[in-house]
Amino acid sequence: MPILARKSSSPGRTGEILRSDRVFRLLVDSMRDYAIFFLTPEGNVASWNPGAERINGYEFEEIAGKHFSIFFPVEDIAIGKPDFELKVAAETGSYRDEGWRIRKDGTRFWASVVTSKVLDENGKLIGFSKVTRDLTEHWEVEQQYKRLIEGVSDYAIYSLDKNGYITSWNTGARRLKGYETEEILGQHFSKFYIDEDIARELPKRVLEIAARDGHYESEGWRVRKDGSRFWSSVVVTPIRDNAGDLIGFSKITRDVTDRKILLEQIQQHARELEIKIREQQQMNAELEAFSYSVSHDLRAPLRAIEGFSDIILTDYGEKLPAEAKDYLQQIVASTVRMNRLVRDLLDYSRLARIELESAPVNVRSAIADALNQLDLDKQSMVSVAVDPKNLQVKAHGPVLRQVISNLINNALKFTKPGKLPTVAVKAFRLGESVRIQVEDQGIGIAPQHRDRIFQVFERLHGPDEYPGTGIGLAIVKRGINRMGGTVALQSELGKGSTFEISLPAT
Ligand code: ADP
């Protein structure tokens, strides 16, 4: 049976030592996962444990006395590796190695080997102990892992030693940075940084932070071999050995230039849009101020024209020829029209400026108030249905009344020639909103005009056909929007229209 060839060196020793010798031999023999054997100073096998038999495939009888180079592949023998191993072990005490070894049947295994020199009591070299482990499985897993990383092409994955010098380089790194593996290994990773970042010692800080925090993540410009730049997203992780000592870093880099460009474009658009909106707001404010002051200033001369025309008509009407009287009457009619225009314009521009505080408003009362502004005969043409009767809406009372009044006025006005108007006002709750509908059976509105009629001065008819200023619906829209609501329109040309406002319920 193979045993460790350790003989009791002094026959006179106690049984205790013999016993410990025996325990030691049993221990070594029991280690089936380790090939443990002894070499003479020349490198010949002198002992062999069951682990060695299992791993190398030789029985002790077959291998005893053979030179240990028998375990090496020819290429290692050719470069004198076995002798080198013993030489280093003899000089330094031990030698560690990982590499291919050959079994008796010619197959290879990946071995982790520790060779230590053995001295006798007088310090004379009596041989070498060798402990070998078969790490083929580990090696295969490692290779698979390496191949996996190597194969990744969308990410540059590489490793650095603890000072930042590159120790591995994958396909993605070659593709992304343009360097071949041979030319980049051993170089410092600061090579990829732009001058400004090198000047502020960013590479050094990256490693310091990664080592301190266990992780470093950031984005920034990096430089390719050809000098071109790309925007990278980087993750750096420290690599530590089993004892926890830092041995290097892994770096994963991704080219996210496209994303960065897109983001910048979006940000640029947003900035431009903001500027445009601000300009627009300023223009609107100026326009509002202008129209307000013009309308305001127009009132006094208008009143003068109206007043003096009236005086002429009353005081001198008798003396005037009929034609002159008619012209004067037209002047008065025009001032009435202009007065209405100015009043509406003022209402409209005031609506942009004033604070609209919303409070619960009783819908029935708001509709009743709007109706009360009409002549009695017109009131009778409007039916009202509010459900429930005490329906409340969150709104600014005066503006809501004006909006409803404008809609009812239009519904009564835009009737087919010779027909009496029929208008229905309905109000009800729908989910979180209150809807108020004003429905007529009038002339209707063609689809292509349904948006523009809500703008100031947009009218579809001449003043002779249907009088008006073209501001009523603009007031409706602005008022409702400012109260947080919306306006919708359904209409069929020649059949009628329904305007619906939606406001938050209380
Ligand atoms: P105005 O009524 O003073 O003309 P508005 O702003 O209230 O101004 O309305 C703008 C235009 O929209 C009207 O001139 C008319 O052509 C159209 N319009 C409004 N309401 C109705 C309706 N109920 N039926 C048909 N057309 C309408």
Residue 238's pLDDT is what? 96
- Structurally, what CATH architecture does the domain formed by 31-133 represent? 2-Layer Sandwich (3.30)
Structure tokens at 279: 């300009």
Q: Distance between CA 26 and CA 45 in Å, rounded?
A: 19
Q: Distance between CA 498 and CA 437 in Å, rounded?
A: 6
Residue 18's pLDDT is what? 55
User: Which is the CATH superfamily of the domain at 153-255?
Assistant: PAS domain (3.30.450.20)
Residue 7's pLDDT is what? 42
**Residues 132 and 113: beta-carbon distance below 8 Å:** yes
Residue 4's pLDDT is what? 42
Is the fold of 31-133 the same as that of 359-504?
no
Supply the CATH classification number for the domain 272-353. 1.10.287.130
Nearest partner of 49 among 132, 135, 141, judged by Cα: 132
Tell me whether the omega of the peptide bond preceding residue 360 falls within 30 degrees of 0, making it cis.
Answer: no
What is the arithmetic mean of pLDDT over 197-223?
A: 96
**Residues 391 and 428: beta-carbon distance below 8 Å:** yes
User: Is residue 444 packed enough to be buried (19+ CB in 10 Å), middle (13-18) or exposed (0-12)?
Assistant: middle
Q: Distance between CA 479 and CA 399 in Å, rounded?
A: 6
Alpha carbon separation from 21 to 6, 123, 129 (Å, rounded): 8, 20, 16
**Which of 105-109, 153-157, 347-351 is the least confident region?**
347-351
Domain ranges, ordered by start, for the chain: 31-133, 153-255, 272-353, 359-504
Q: Distance between CA 307 and CA 18 in Å, rounded?
A: 140
Q: How far apart are the first and last CA of the chain?
A: 98
pLDDT tens, 31-78? 778 999 999 999 999 999 999 999 999 999 999 999 999 999 999 999
Q: Distance between CA 503 and CA 302 in Å, rounded?
A: 38
Helix (H, G, I), strand (E, B) or coil at 401: helix
Residues with a CB atom less than 6 Å from ligand 1: 406, 410-411, 414, 440, 442-443, 445, 453, 458-461, 468-474, 497
Nearest partner of 430 among 480, 324, 505, 368, judged by Cα: 505
Strands 423-430 and 433-440: antiparallel
Residue showing tokens 């071949």: 180
Check whether 5 has a pLDDT greater than 60. Answer: no
Q: Distance between CA 493 and CA 200 in Å, rounded?
A: 73
pLDDT tens, 492-506? 999 999 999 999 998
410, 443, 489, 501, best to mutate for ligand 1 pocket (most atoms within 8 Å of CB): 410
Q: How many CB atoms lie within 10 A of CB 325?
A: 16
Check whether 11 has a pLDDT greater than 50. Answer: no
Q: DSSP assignment, residue 389?
A: T
Residue 142's pLDDT is what? 86
pLDDT tens, 307-317? 999 999 999 98
Check whether 379 has a pLDDT greater than 90. Answer: no
Number of H helices, E strands in the chain: 16, 17
CA dihedral for 26, 30, 34, 35, sign (positive or negative): positive
What is the arithmetic mean of pLDDT over 482-490?
A: 96
pLDDT tens, 432-449? 999 999 999 999 999 999
Question: Which is more confident, 32 or 13?
Answer: 32
Residue 276's pLDDT is what? 95
Residue 28's pLDDT is what? 76
Distance 300 CA to ligand 1 centre (A): 29
**Residues 401 and 369: beta-carbon distance below 8 Å:** yes
Question: Which is more confident, 148 or 104?
Answer: 104
Check whether 484 has a pLDDT greater than 70. Answer: yes
Residue showing tokens 């420290």: 238
Q: Which atom of ligand 1 is nearest to the CA of 444?
A: 25
Q: Which atom of ligand 1 is nearest to the CA of 470?
A: 8
Distance 502 CA to ligand 1 centre (A): 19
Distance 392 CA to ligand 1 centre (A): 28
Residue 1's pLDDT is what? 37
Q: Which atom of ligand 1 is nearest to the CA of 473?
A: 6
CATH topology of domain 359-504: Heat Shock Protein 90 (3.30.565)
Structure tokens at 128: 């070498």
**Confidence class of residue 20 from pLDDT cuts 50, 70 and 90?**
low
Check whether 3 has a pLDDT greater than 50. Answer: no
pLDDT tens, 357-373? 999 999 999 999 999 98
Distance 70 CA to ligand 1 centre (A): 106
Check whether 414 has a pLDDT greater than 90. Answer: yes
What is the arithmetic mean of pLDDT over 203-218?
A: 96
Query: In percent, how much of the chain has pLDDT > 70?
Result: 96
Check whether 8 has a pLDDT greater than 50. Answer: no
Check whether 249 has a pLDDT greater than 80. Answer: yes
405, 415, 453, 501, best to mutate for ligand 1 pocket (most atoms within 8 Å of CB): 453
343, 344, 406, 414, best to mutate for ligand 1 pocket (most atoms within 8 Å of CB): 414
Question: Which is more confident, 285 or 320?
Answer: 320
> Considering the chain, what is the average pLDDT of its residues?
90
Closest residue by CA, ligand 1 atom 23: 411
What is the arithmetic mean of pLDDT over 240-257?
A: 93
